[in-house]
Amino acid sequence: MSWAQDEWKDGLSANALKNIASLEQQNERLVKDNKQKQFQIESCTAALEKQKRQTKEEENKYSLLKRDNQLLSESCEDLERTRQKLLHDIQSKDGKISCVEGKLNRLKQNLE
């Protein structure tokens, strides 16, 4: 502190000056601690904001993957229905072929 700032201390007892010096040191220490804690708070706040952004990005990715999964699931269900229909059509046509082959064999036997 400059001489002008210390001028108010003129005429004070040694004990009072000692107490003032102690309080000034304590104040400086508290100011320093406060600055450190403020820096820690700012660092934690920045880290929290970064984590929030990352979480939001992951949530967006999850939503996209969930939607893709839903679309793929629906596509698989459609393909399975188509497969089942085609199997049914094949079985039906196989039955018709067997019937026609049977008629053909009977006609061949009748011609012999």
Integer Cα distance of 98 and 104 in angstroms = 10
The confidence score (pLDDT) of residue 3 equals 59
Query: How far, CA to CA in Å, does 47 sit from each of 15, 36, 56, 58?
Result: 47, 16, 14, 16
pTM of the model: 0.57
Let me know if residue 42 belongs to a domain.
yes
Q: Structurally, how many domains does the chain consist of?
A: 1
Name every residue whose Cβ is closer than 8 Å to that of residue 20 and which is 6 or more positions away in sequence.
9, 12
| 16 pLDDT higher than 70 | yes
Residue 104: inside a domain: no
The answer to whether residue 1 scores a pLDDT higher than 90 is: no
Position 112 scores a pLDDT of: 81
Q: Which two tokens stand for residue 68?
A: 């893709």
User: How far is residue 7's CA from residue 1's CA, in Å, rounded to a whole number?
Assistant: 10
> Is the model's pLDDT at 22 over the cut of 80?
yes
Confidence of residue 2 (pLDDT cuts 50, 70, 90): low
pLDDT band at residue 6 using 50, 70 and 90 as cut-offs? confident
Contact predicate 9/17, CB 8 Å: yes
DSSP code, position 7: G
**Does a structural domain hold residue 67?**
yes
Residue 53 lies in a domain: yes
| Domain region containing 41 | 14-82
Question: Could you tell me which residue, 2 or 48, shows the higher pLDDT?
Answer: 48
Tell me whether residue 40 is in a domain: yes
